[in-house]
C-alpha cells in the first residue's frame, strides 16, 4: 500500500514538473518574443525572396520601418524638383525598395529619352544606408552621388541587408534597385559596379549571376570570394585599389584574387596605394574610378 502511494506521489510530482515547465516555456517565450513553432517553420522560396523591413540589421531598421508605409510603392522621379536643389543639376532620393533603404542620385537630362549610365555602390560591413544624411557614410554617399550625377550618371546604393557578406538577398536587393530605377528613368542596360570592403562580395556575386548586365567593376580594399566563375565574367574589366597598410582586409588577399584570375586567363588590374589604410580608399578615388570606367576625355566632356 505504501509502495503504491509512493509511486502515485512520484508520478504526480513528475507531471507537475512537466506541466509547470511547459507553462514556463510559453511565459518566457512571450516575454522574450521567441516562438519555436514560427522559428522552426521553413520559409518557402517565395517567402524567402520577399524582403521585409524586419529583415534589416543595423541602426537604420527603425528608419526603414518608418519610411516603408510612405515609400513602399514606386516613387516617381520628378526631375523638375532639381531646379530648387543641388544647383539644378541633379536630385537625390531616399526610397525604401522592397524593405531596403536606398540612396539614389539622378542627373537632370535635357532629353528624357536619352539613357544614363548607372553606377552601383556596395558598402562595407560597418556601413549603413540610412533614410537621412546624418552619418559620415551617408555624407560620403552624397559626395559620390554629386560626383557621378553631375557627370550625367545615376548613382545608387542599397543597404543590401546590412552586414550581408554577399548573401542571396543582397544580390536580390541590387536587382530590385535597378528595376526600381528603370521603372521611371532611362538607364543603360549595363551598370558600373563599385564594391568597398565586404561590398566586394555582393558586387562580384551580382556580376557572376548577371554578367550581361555589368560593364566594369571597381573594387576598393575588397573582400573577395575564394572561387569565382571567371568564364562568365571574362568580358568584364576589373580594377582593384588597395592600400599596403590595410590591416582590415590585407593586401595579400587582393594579390591572391589577381593570381586566381590570371590562372584562368584573366587580367585583373591592381593599384597598390603606398601608405594607405583600409578606410583611406573608401571615397578618395572617385576621379580614378571614373577614369577607369569612362576614360580621361569623358571626365572633361561631362563636367558641368
User: In this predicted model, what pLDDT tens digit does every residue of 91-100 receive, in sequence order?
Assistant: 999 999 999 9
Q: Are residues 132 and 232 in the same domain?
A: yes
Q: Are residues 32 and 61 in the same domain?
A: no
The pLDDT of residue 154 is: 96
The pLDDT of residue 93 is: 94
End-to-end CA distance of the chain: 101
Q: Which residues are bridge partners to 243 per DSSP? A: 273
What's the whole-model pTM score? Answer: 0.72
Q: Classify residue 47: in a domain, yes or no.
A: no
Could you tell me what percent of the chain has a pLDDT over 70?
67
Report the chain's C-alpha Rg in angstroms: 25
Contacts of 228 (CB under 8 A, 6+ apart): 204, 208, 260, 261
Q: Are residues 68 and 20 in the same domain?
A: no
CA distance 273 to 135: 26
Structural domains counted in the chain: 2
Q: Classify residue 154: in a domain, yes or no.
A: yes
In this structure, what CATH number is given to the domain that contains residue 174?
Answer: 3.40.50.1820
Q: Classify residue 277: in a domain, yes or no.
A: yes
CA distance 90 to 108: 5
Residues in the chain where the model's pLDDT stays below 70: 1-88, 110-112, 295-304
Q: Are residues 85 and 207 in the same domain?
A: yes
**What is the H or E stretch that residue 151 is in?**
none
Quick one: which of 147, 246, 133 has its CA closest to 200? Answer: 246
CA separation, residue 134 to residues 6, 137, 142, 226, 290 (Å): 70, 8, 11, 36, 26
Containing structural domain, residue 252: 57-302
Q: Classify residue 48: in a domain, yes or no.
A: no
User: In this predicted model, what pLDDT tens digit does every residue of 200-256 receive, in sequence order?
Assistant: 999 999 999 999 999 999 999 999 999 999 999 999 999 999 999 999 999 999 999
Contacts of 31 (CB under 8 A, 6+ apart): none
The pLDDT of residue 13 is: 65
Amino acid at each position: 500500500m505504501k509502495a503504491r502511494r509512493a509511486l502515485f506521489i512520484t508520478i504526480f510530482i513528475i507531471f507537475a514538473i512537466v506541466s509547470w515547465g511547459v507553462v514556463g516555456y510559453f511565459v518566457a517565450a512571450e516575454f522574450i518574443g521567441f516562438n519555436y513553432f514560427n522559428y522552426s517553420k521553413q520559409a518557402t522560396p517565395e517567402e524567402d525572396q520577399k524582403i521585409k523591413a524586419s529583415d534589416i540589421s543595423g541602426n537604420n531598421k527603425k528608419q526603414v520601418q518608418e519610411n516603408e508605409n510612405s515609400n513602399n510603392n514606386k516613387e516617381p522621379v520628378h526631375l523638375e524638383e532639381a531646379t530648387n536643389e543641388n544647383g539644378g543639376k541633379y536630385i537625390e532620393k531616399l526610397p525604401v525598395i522592397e524593405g531596403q533603404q536606398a540612396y539614389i542620385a539622378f542627373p537632370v537630362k535635357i532629353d528624357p529619352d536619352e539613357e544614363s549610365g548607372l553606377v552601383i555602390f556596395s558598402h562595407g560591413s560597418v556601413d549603413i544606408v540610412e533614410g537621412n544624411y546624418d552619418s559620415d557614410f551617408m555624407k560620403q554617399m552624397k559626395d559620390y552621388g554629386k560626383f557621378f550625377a553631375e557627370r550625367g550618371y545615376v548613382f545608387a546604393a542599397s543597404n543590401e541587408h546590412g552586414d550581408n557578406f554577399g548573401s542571396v538577398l543582397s544580390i536580390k536587393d541590387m536587382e530590385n534597385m535597378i528595376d526600381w530605377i528603370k521603372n521611371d528613368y532611362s538607364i543603360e542596360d549595363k551598370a558600373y559596379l563599385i564594391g568597398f570592403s565586404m561590398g566586394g562580395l555582393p558586387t562580384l556575386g551580382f556580376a557572376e549571376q548577371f554578367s550581361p548586365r555589368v560593364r566594369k567593376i571597381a573594387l576598393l580594399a575588397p573582400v573577395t570570394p575564394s572561387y569565382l566563375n571567371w568564364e562568365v565574367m571574362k568580358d568584364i574589366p576589373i580594377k582593384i585599389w588597395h592600400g599596403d597598410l590595410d590591416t582590415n582586409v590585407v593586401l595579400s588577399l587582393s594579390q591572391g584574387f589577381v593570381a586566381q584570375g590570371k590562372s584562368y586567363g584573366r587580367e585583373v588590374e591592381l593599384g597598390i596605394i603606398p601608405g594607405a589604410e583600409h578606410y583611406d580608399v573608401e571615397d578618395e578615388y572617385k576621379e580614378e574610378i571614373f577614369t577607369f570606367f569612362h576614360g580621361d576625355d569623358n571626365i572633361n566632356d561631362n563636367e558641368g
